[in-house]
Amino acid sequence: MNMSNRVKYTETEKAWILANTNMKVDEQYKAFIEMFGERCSFSAFKTKRARLNNKGIKHARFTQEEDEWIKRNYPILGAEETLKGLCEKFGNRHTYRSLQSRCRDLKLNVTEQRWREACLNNGHRENVPIGTIQKRGRGQNWIKVGKGCEGWIPLTQHLLDCPEGSIIVHLDGNKANDSLENLRVVKRSVNSRMVAWRMYSENPIITETGIKCCELQEELLNTDQRRI
């Protein structure tokens, strides 16, 4: 089927494109074809999406209520979850790109410091009992161990001692899986080798084997240097 690059999109199609720009463009194109039929080429759809997205940023202004909601939730949830919550609460008025732009204007980013400050400012997090475990933006589990912004720490730090110069890694790559058998304390130098050689895997056995290989190589290098 020949698909034209000159397609007149309906208002329904435009609204659908704007409401789903948090999807990757190739995934959204496939979904668009399934819903509305093969009316345009991928390049034409990509161009239209970009133009609509830019218009959405200019015309869909954030209200003060939306800004306050974003300030409370973005540092904790991250961009994708914040956009979903924003759409559920206020309607599909904004796109993923417009949210990111607005967060930059509000000087927000998902850092540990920002998240701790948000925990302190959000009363509902202060009211939960010590020992409560909650997820932050990228699925990482945090546990409440005390009061104030310093009262929340990553669950991995609560479960294992991590000496200076080391980090805690998840053997299966899933940061939400904090079972002891899935956690491993490794030196930062070993972690650097693992990342450089792409030895982390979703298979815990493969990751564990890679760590042992890197630790062995580091020990051999240190032994050679001591002999010199």
**What digits encode the pLDDT tens for the residues 155-188?**
999 999 999 999 999 999 998 899 999 999 999 9
For residues 56 and 9, the model is more confident at 9
Higher pLDDT: 160 or 3? It is: 160
* pLDDT value of residue 1: 43
Q: Which residue has the higher pLDDT, 5 or 159?
A: 159
Q: At residue 95, does pLDDT exceed 90?
A: no
Judge contact between 144 and 131, C-beta under 8 A.
yes
Please tell me the predicted confidence (pLDDT) of residue 215: 94
Report the C-alpha gap between 98 and 57 in whole angstroms: 5
Nearest 5 degrees, angle CA 70-CA 72-CA 77? 75
CA atoms of 47 and 20, how far apart (whole Å): 15
d(CA 36, CA 14): 11
Structure-model confidence comparison of residues 86 and 4, the more confident one = 86
* Residue 214: partners with Cβ closer than 8 Å, 6 or more residues away: 190, 193, 194, 197, 199
Nearest to 206 by CA among 193, 196, 216, 194: 194
Determine the average pLDDT of the residues in 83-97: 78
At 143, which helix (H) or strand (E)? strand 141-144
Decide which of 94 and 172 is more confident. 172
**Contacts within 8 Å (CB) and 24+ apart, 9-14:** 9/48, 14/52
How confident is the model at residue 170, as a pLDDT?
95
Residue of 60, 20, 52, 12 whose CA lies nearest to 36: 12
Q: Once rounded to an integer, what is the mean pLDDT over residues 190-205?
A: 92
Q: What angle do CA 175, 176, 182 make, to 5 degrees?
A: 70
- Residue 61, pLDDT score: 80
Q: What is the pLDDT of residues 57-71, one digit of tens each?
A: 444 688 888 888 888
Least reliable range by pLDDT among 131-135, 161-165, 181-185, 204-208? 131-135
CA distance 104 to 109: 8
Mean pLDDT of the chain: 80
Residue 117's pLDDT band, with cuts at 50, 70 and 90, is low
Confidence label for 127 from pLDDT (cuts 50, 70 and 90): low
Domain ranges of the chain: 11-59, 64-105, 112-158, 161-227
Query: Does residue 52 surpass a pLDDT of 70?
Result: yes
CA 17, CA 30: separation in Å to the nearest integer?
A: 12
Burial 108-138 (b: 16+ CB within 10 A, else e): bebeeeebbebbbeeeebeeeeeeeeeebbe
Give the contacts of 172 (CB within 8 A, at least 6 positions apart). Answer: 182, 202, 203, 204, 207
For Cα atoms 208, 167, 223, give the angle at the middle one, nearest 5 degrees.
70
Pick the residue with more confidence: 170 or 8? Answer: 170
When pLDDT is cut at 50, 70 and 90, the band that residue 128 belongs to is confident
